[in-house]
């Protein structure tokens, strides 16, 4: 039985190699997509934790704090001080 199996692989070697390469590429792409999705989900959390912030202040009309380069002046930021909050400070550019 093993002889017939090996003989069949010899005759269909090209198909076998193509199937192995295709399966490897499919597995590699699924790992890359999974890693990219995990990174995108964790990027915002890591950025906020980096600055040890509880909230993020953005300008009006901005789609999000990490998707645009819209800056606020340090003097124009007004955040309501609610106990036990600490005063807001601008992040360095």
What are the structural domain ranges in the chain? 2-50, 56-93
pLDDT, tens digit (0-9, with 9 covering 90-100), for 7-60: 888 888 889 899 999 999 999 999 999 999 999 888 878 887 887 777 677 777
CA atoms of 66 and 21, how far apart (whole Å): 38
For the chain, the DSSP string reads -HHHHHHHHHHTHHHHHHHHHHHHHHHHHHHHHHHHHHHHHHHHHHHHHHTT-S-----TT-S-SSS------TTT------TTPPPP-PPP-
- At residue 28, the pLDDT reads 98
User: In b/e form, how buried is each residue of 44-68, taking b as 16+ CB within 10 angstroms?
Assistant: eeeeeeeeeeeeeeeeeeeeebeee
- At residue 38, the pLDDT reads 94
For the whole model, what pTM was predicted?
A: 0.52
């Amino acid at each position: 039985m093993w002889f017939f199996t090996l003989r069949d692989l010899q005759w269909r070697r090209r198909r076998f190699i193509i199937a192995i390469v295709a399966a490897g590429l499919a597995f590699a792409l699924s790992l890359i997509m999974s890693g990219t999705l995990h990174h995108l989900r964790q990027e915002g959390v890591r950025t906020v934790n980096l600055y040890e912030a509880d909230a993020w202040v953005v300008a009006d009309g901005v789609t999000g704090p990490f998707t645009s380069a819209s800056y606020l002046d340090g003097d124009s930021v007004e955040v309501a001080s609610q106990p036990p909050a600490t005063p807001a400070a601008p992040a360095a550019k």
